[in-house]
Chain A
Amino acid sequence: MPPGALSMLILRVLQTGPLHGYAIAQRIHQLSGEVLGAEEGSLYPALQRMLMEGWVTGEWGVSETKRRVRFYSLTKDGLKQLKQEIAEYEQVSAAIQGILRTA
């Protein structure tokens, strides 16, 4: 996974509603057709960084398996960040594809 992509994916997954860490990992794993998700643990340092930046907030709750887990939800700042990251990503991706196609 390219650096920075993980936080974009997390933000995108959280856009649909609050999720706990395991659920976020599962979502990314499934939605990517089981391609992404090499090291699930790296989710946590990324989530810590996003908490620090104020993009997400965390709230403790109980999971479907009756475990005490933290549910993360997107903040207003997080949404702004997500839009910005997607815009940047699309720009770069379009440029790369352009090169791949024509060069």
Chain B
Amino acid sequence: MRLLRRIRYLLNRGALERDLQDEMSAHREMLAANRQASFGSTLRLREEARDVWGFTWLDQLRQDLAYGARQMRRSPGFTLIAVMVLALGVGLNLGVFQIANAIFYNRISVRDSGVLQRVIRQSPARKLYAFPSGIAGFYRDNASQFAYLVTEHAGTVPVSLENDSANVRAQFVSGNYFQALGVGALKGRLLELSDSNLGAGQIHAVISYGYWQRRFGGDAGILQHTVDVNRKPVQVVGIAPVDFDGLNQNHADLWPPEALRPRLIEGTSPGDEFRRPDTALFGVLKPGVSAASAGDQLIALAAEMRAQHPNAFEENESIRAQPLGDDERRLGSFVFLIPIVLLILLASCANLGNILLARGLTRAHEIEARIAVGAGRWRVVRQLMTESLLLSACATLVGLFVARVGTRLYFVGFSGVTRATELRIMMDWPIILAAVALAMFSTLLFGLAPALAATRGGRPTTGARRTLLAIQVAVSSVLLICSGLLARGGQRLTASGSRMNFEKIVIVEPDLESVNLAPSAARQALDDLQQRLSRMPGIAGVTVATGAPIFGVRVQNAPGLPTTFWQSVDPSYFGLMQIPITRGRNFLPGEPATNMIISESAARFRWPKEDPLGKQWGSQGDGPTVVGVVADTEATAFRNASAIEAYTPMQDKNAPTAVLIVRTTGDPGPQLQNMRTVATLPGTSPWISRLQSQVDMWIEHSGAATKSIIALGGTGSILAGIGVFGLIAFSVAERTREIGLRIALGAGRGGIVRALFAQYAGPLVVGCAAGVALAFALIRSLQSQIILGLVTFDPLGYLPGLAGFLVILVVAVLIPVRRALRIDPASALRWE
């Protein structure tokens, strides 16, 4: 009630004022002439009444804003610098926030993305996100607690499209998929239920926007005729929207209906749909249904299925639905940007704080006058804070613009244009909210200390200034060190990338898992494929290993050992990959699993002074015996500089998941299509890739982050450098009179320079030390996220950063000092 009255008062304040005035003057008229004085001051009483109404603060805010705006207009130079400095800090933060927001929340662009549930299987051993397609289909058609359920292939199936030598990613989806998710076509139409029951030989599919652009140049004519997919005619019925990337976001190129999978993939055997867990299940609960009751129904359905297909389930397997948003997602190397931009904001705030402190000194007269005529200290502080708020509001507006330009630059400049279509960058309310929060936060950060200092009265102390200086020094040394280190890492990486010759290496993943072979039969199939591939023209050699070099190794973090990259290989591996054997011998055919080969770095780490040959790898004198030592590979440069490598002989039990590594004599490009044909067995869809393109992707991906950090680091250091420069210049200028006096009294110039340096020695040393410690901690804690070529203990990486910073400092002190020293003592004494 009181609130309502207050609001009504606020709206009718003009009438209220008049009423009160009328009332008071009526009272005065009625008073006898000799008692007039007993009424009191009408003006003060009206003000008191207004206080009761509770909009004094509003009036004052209006006054403060008007006054602040006048102040800004009066010194446009100051305003411009302050706004730009802060806009940069706020803008970079907003940009990073936007990208993080896009990565985290905005990527799944379907109607119900907020309430979408993922159905998962949980056994005591692990969490599984995929079901055999037949079982997922049964749940989809029978779980009545869901408004709808859709299925989507958990990964993608490589198919060949006409004469395209690259793999095309097909993702099979349920017939109701697009309609239930509420996705509309960009062109043509998307799949409907009827597309699952087409006449013999007919296949319809939807293609992604990205693939349409890449492969067909955005030509809508594609919808008029069929294309060859795995040598079957497929009618493309429509193009998916730009931002649609499925629910698993596997960058699929082609979406055919699940029901037509056997038509498209040759040799799909009838029982497969209850064997191979390859289908993900998503849905939306009916209104009012709890996740628990939906889970109960799923458990009942699962029991029914388990009775019919016991092999499709793991032991003690359970099933439940969880919100899609709960999936673990990785920001990856992007995480490194967040502390960096926060540091930049801190630097901008410290910078601005300094500017405001300096301005507080020049406005000391004005503030003293205001306090002298009766303004309370808090009233003045509030007025100064309002000015800061005005500044930060302007800066936030500019910052929004900076963020827009910045994110665009990030995508176009650093990560290739194609990636920009994968992320939706939007200006929506979380961004606006974040902008407002940042503006408020930075206002407090940069405005409060100067406002307090300015109103304290008396001679200003240098405490706040020295603290701000230390902060700026710390921030800019962190930024310089990080970017210096990363620049060096990037350099190392490019160097090692060109040293390696991966151009002629092709990885063939034969997909033997799809046909459920026994280990020995799988090994037989591998040998067969090896034979067939090596008989192709232009092939220098073929070998078998458990995974592709660098990217397919098994990573183990055992206590007491550095990160270890394990791989099981055939004897021909080292020759084909051109890894020299430096001691001992290669594996022999039929090498027992009790023998192993280690890399030089592993030998150095494990037995620094002894001969590793004949030693056992386990720390208890157990484990496999070392029979040979090979050179380190580039995997270390790419993934983890301190890692070591170990090899065991290829075993039959690893055969179903093994890969073939092919070295060609010339450019493998034209061969890829033939290799796929040769490597395809009934029921398999092999994945063919060039090792070099994986390397390139890796470099590009990590390089984007590295480049942006270097760019941000550079920006931040320049910002901090300017701040430090301005601060020192200002305080030296302030002491011009004192310097003149000292010179007039006969002080030596060297002594004065020393005295000025001494004043800043404390904050500089403290700031530098804090900066180095912080940079070290930052790199250590984030190293696992951004492994690329980063070396923690690289003094050369630190040095350029530190040296650059020292140069800024010396210049910042010397220039104003030189100016002060050149001044004629007589005029310096009159300096005001």
Q: Determine whether A52 belongs to the interface, using a CB cutoff of 8 Å to chain B.
A: yes
B 1-36 binary contact with A (CB < 8 Å = 1; else 0): 110011001000000000110111011011100000
**In the complex, chain B residues 254-292 whose Cβ is within 8 Å of any chain A Cβ:** none
Chain B residues near A83 (CB-CB < 8 A): none
How far does the alpha carbon of A23 sit from the alpha carbon of B20 in the complex, in Å? Answer: 16
Q: Determine whether B41 belongs to the interface, using a CB cutoff of 8 Å to chain A.
A: yes
Q: Determine whether A18 belongs to the interface, using a CB cutoff of 8 Å to chain B.
A: no
Chain B residues near A80 (CB-CB < 8 A): none
- Secondary structure at the B interface, as helix, strand, loop or mixed, is helix
Q: Determine whether A90 belongs to the interface, using a CB cutoff of 8 Å to chain B.
A: no
> Contact between B26 and A52 (Cβ–Cβ < 8 Å)?
no
- The answer, among B27, B38, B52, for a CB contact under 8 Å with A48, is B52
Min CB–CB distance B6 → chain A (angstroms) = 7
Q: Determine whether A40 belongs to the interface, using a CB cutoff of 8 Å to chain B.
A: yes
A41 touching B41 in the complex, CB below 8 Å, given contacts A52-B52, A67-B29: yes
Chain A residues near B48 (CB-CB < 8 A): 42, 45
A 70-95 binary contact with B (CB < 8 Å = 1; else 0): 10000000000000000000000000
Q: Determine whether A9 belongs to the interface, using a CB cutoff of 8 Å to chain B.
A: no
How far does the alpha carbon of A63 sit from the alpha carbon of B27 in the complex, in Å? Answer: 11
- Secondary structure at the A interface, as helix, strand, loop or mixed, is helix
A40 touching B23 in the complex, CB below 8 Å, given contacts A45-B45, A52-B52: no
How far does the alpha carbon of A42 sit from the alpha carbon of B52 in the complex, in Å? Answer: 12
> Contact between B26 and A37 (Cβ–Cβ < 8 Å)?
no
A 1-25 binary contact with B (CB < 8 Å = 1; else 0): 0000000000000000000011001
Chain A residues near B40 (CB-CB < 8 A): 39-42
- The answer, among A52, A65, A68, for a CB contact under 8 Å with B22, is A68
Min CB–CB distance A73 → chain B (angstroms) = 15
- Among residues of B, the one whose C-beta sits closest to the C-beta of A40 is B39
Interface size class of B (residues with CB under 8 A): 20 to 34
Q: Determine whether B760 belongs to the interface, using a CB cutoff of 8 Å to chain A.
A: no
A41 touching B2 in the complex, CB below 8 Å, given contacts A67-B26, A69-B23: no
> Contact between B49 and A53 (Cβ–Cβ < 8 Å)?
no
Min CB–CB distance A3 → chain B (angstroms) = 13
Q: Determine whether B78 belongs to the interface, using a CB cutoff of 8 Å to chain A.
A: no
Chain A residues near B39 (CB-CB < 8 A): 39-41
How far does the alpha carbon of A20 sit from the alpha carbon of B285 in the complex, in Å? Answer: 66
- The answer, among B1, B2, B23, B53, for a CB contact under 8 Å with A21, is B23
How far does the alpha carbon of A38 sit from the alpha carbon of B39 in the complex, in Å? Answer: 8
A54 touching B23 in the complex, CB below 8 Å, given contacts A37-B38, A39-B38: no
Chain A residues near B45 (CB-CB < 8 A): 41-42, 44-45
> Contact between A21 and B27 (Cβ–Cβ < 8 Å)?
yes
- Among residues of B, the one whose C-beta sits closest to the C-beta of A43 is B27
How far does the alpha carbon of A37 sit from the alpha carbon of B41 in the complex, in Å? Answer: 15
How far does the alpha carbon of A69 sit from the alpha carbon of B22 in the complex, in Å? Answer: 8
> Contact between A53 and B2 (Cβ–Cβ < 8 Å)?
yes
> Contact between A70 and B19 (Cβ–Cβ < 8 Å)?
yes
A22 touching B2 in the complex, CB below 8 Å, given contacts A45-B45, A45-B52, A48-B53: no
Chain A residues near B6 (CB-CB < 8 A): 52
How far does the alpha carbon of A49 sit from the alpha carbon of B29 in the complex, in Å? Answer: 24
> Contact between B23 and A44 (Cβ–Cβ < 8 Å)?
yes
Q: Determine whether B362 belongs to the interface, using a CB cutoff of 8 Å to chain A.
A: no
Chain B residues near A53 (CB-CB < 8 A): 2
Chain B residues near A25 (CB-CB < 8 A): 27
B 41-67 binary contact with A (CB < 8 Å = 1; else 0): 110011011011110000000000000
A22 touching B52 in the complex, CB below 8 Å, given contacts A41-B42, A42-B40: no
> Contact between B38 and A38 (Cβ–Cβ < 8 Å)?
yes
> Contact between A22 and B30 (Cβ–Cβ < 8 Å)?
yes
**Can you list 12 pairs linking A and B with CB atoms under 8 Å apart?**
A40-B40, A41-B45, A42-B40, A42-B48, A44-B23, A45-B49, A45-B51, A52-B2, A52-B5, A52-B9, A63-B30, A65-B30
The 7 A-B pairs at the shortest CB distance, nearest first, are namely: A41-B40, A45-B48, A39-B40, A48-B49, A41-B45, A41-B39, A45-B49
